[in-house]
Chains A and B, each alone.
Chain A
Amino acid sequence: MKKRILVVDDEEGLRLLYKEELEDEGWEVELASSGEESIEKLENDRIDLVLLDIKMPGMDGVEVLRRVKERWKDLPVILCTAYPHYKHDFGTWASDAYVTKSSDLTELKQTVREILGKKQ
């Protein structure tokens, strides 16, 4: 069975880009446009990895991360943001990886492979 990634980002263009790129890599991709929607999907779908934007209106990425780690301890989360300095925010320590957003998706795809590869 294909591993399934949940992409959480409030930018429609980025959701589409991540979906196409990750599907090309052979993963299945689910999308959520807000923190609230991502929790709903996690409750109802089988998800193997969360790709999470930090800065979102409403429930932000740090809050989603906290809830995920409370309820689904073993579910890996990659934090993904425009700000390089979130790396040092203690709220983000619990994530399994941290990727700074870039139009070059090599690092992101590599990180996904490392994490999902490990779990297989």
Chain B
Amino acid sequence: MGYDITYRLSQLASECRDLDEGLGKAAGIILESSPFDQCDVYLWDEDKRVFFLKASAGTGSRTQSYVEGDGVPGMVKESMGPVAMKKPWSGGPKDAGTDGFGYAYAHPLNAGDSFYGVLYLKSKMDLAAPAFKKDIELAAPFLALMIRCRKAESGYLEASLELGEAREKVERTEKLMALVDMASSLAHEIKNPLISIGGFAARLKRHLGSDSDALPYVEQMLQEVRRVERLIDGIMRFLRDGGASDKHPEDINEILKTALKFFDDDFRVGNISLALDLFEGKLPVYADREQLTIAFDNLIANAIQSMENGGTLTLTTGLCRDSIVVRVADSGGGIDPRNINYIFNPFFTTKKNGTGLGLPIANSIMHMHNGCIEVENEEGVGATFVLKLPLAA
């Protein structure tokens, strides 16, 4: 008998990879090889300090869980040794799991210094211990080792997954930092010669005089140089450290009006009408005026660019509890849902002449001001960028 149960359990331990399945089969083997009518395996949860039923064989009554000190499993944990009890169950805590049975025997599941749970066996008839004691004493360590191995395996798996993720994160950060360094020195290297080109083109323009045929060429050069310069400044602004800002109490409506000044021509040329709905009275915010103007500037430019065939730009300011809310709404047909997760990523753009920096810059400026930007997208209608900033006391 003893050889049979250990042989079958050792076979099972080497074949079965899944703990639930393994313990279920083990309970069946023990039940077949012993005089009991019910065989349950309870595992101890150290954090919750409770036993819960992990595997079961037999048809009798069983309890799903035992709190610490409760029932026969509780007695086993306290004594750290086998417990045998029989009807009328005197001398131990009440255990509903013994209903309908005449005899109960429970054995701790220990491996090394660790306690994993209890093997709990019940019989309708009263049993004499020597007939099964040896088998259970052999079976219990098998079960405990099985639990220990599977736990170690899943722990190892989890740890290696976590390690992999951490390594990936470090690699991503390193790549990003290298990219930032490269972009920063590239921007600097480009900017100086660009100023030289643009500056001399401006001198050339003055030398040519207003009636020269070559004037359009020079003007085109100047226009393109300014465009690249703006791009470079945008990159530098994006790469600069966030702490360097010059904050004072400001009125959000005033900043918005300043930003709007630069767009008169764009509204006219682009056939865009402006609808302003500004909060009556001041909306004080603790802000770097220059930076917030840039943020609005980028959002307004973004809205204008989205309305290639004209439309309406609606700017609203208001108050919502302790937050100033600014809404920049366009009627440009909205953002393709496939792109919506990328719009704040640097260098992502769907526009022919876009730099992919307008929204990321606006976003990083809002973060520097403890604010945020959300986007409300209505496909086919338009997009609304909702900015929230803390109201200054």
Contacts and interface: CB of A to CB of B under 8 A. Distances in A.
B264 interface: no
A55 interface: yes
Interface in B183-207: 187-188, 191-203
Contacts of A103: 194-199, 201-202, 222, 225-226, 229
Contact of A102 (B187, B229, B237): B229
Contacts of B226: 103-104
Interface stretch (A43-51, A57-65, A79-87, A110-118): A79-87
Most buried by A among B193, B197, B202, B241: B202
Interface in A67-113: 82-85, 87-88, 100-105
Contacts of B200: 13, 17
B268 interface: no
Given A20-B203, A21-B203, A83 B195 contact: no
B193 A84 contact: no
Given A21-B199, A21-B203, A103-B199, A82 B192 contact: yes
A88 B192 contact: no
A104 B233 contact: no
B128 interface: no
A17 B195 contact: yes
Contacts of B261: none
Interface in A1-24: 11, 13-14, 16-17, 20-21
Contacts of B111: none
B246 A88 contact: yes
Nearest to A103: B198
A100 B195 CA distance: 11
A82 B191 contact: yes
Nearest to B187: A82
B240 A102 contact: no
Contacts of A83: 188, 236, 240
Interface extent on B, as a size class?
Answer: 20 to 34
Contact of B192 (A14, A21, A104, A105): A14
A16 B241 CA distance: 32
B269 interface: no
Interface string B79-110: 00000000000000000000000000000000
B393 interface: no
Given A21-B203, A82-B236, A104-B202, A14 B195 contact: yes
Contacts of B194: 103
B320 interface: no
B160 to A, nearest CB: 42
Nearest to A82: B191
A55 B246 contact: no
Interface string B204-245: 000000000000000000100110010001001100110011
Contacts of A101: 191-192, 195
Contacts of B195: 13-14, 17, 101-103
Contacts of B233: 84, 100
A41 B244 CA distance: 34
Contacts of B191: 82, 101
Given A14-B196, A84-B236, A101-B191, 4 more contacts: A82-B187, A83-B188, A87-B244, A103-B229
The 9 A-B pairs at the shortest CB distance, nearest first, are namely: A103-B198, A13-B196, A88-B244, A85-B240, A17-B199, A82-B191, A103-B195, A11-B192, A103-B199
17 contacts: A11-B192, A11-B196, A13-B193, A14-B196, A17-B195, A17-B200, A82-B187, A82-B192, A83-B240, A84-B233, A85-B236, A88-B245, A101-B191, A102-B229, A103-B201, A103-B225, A104-B202
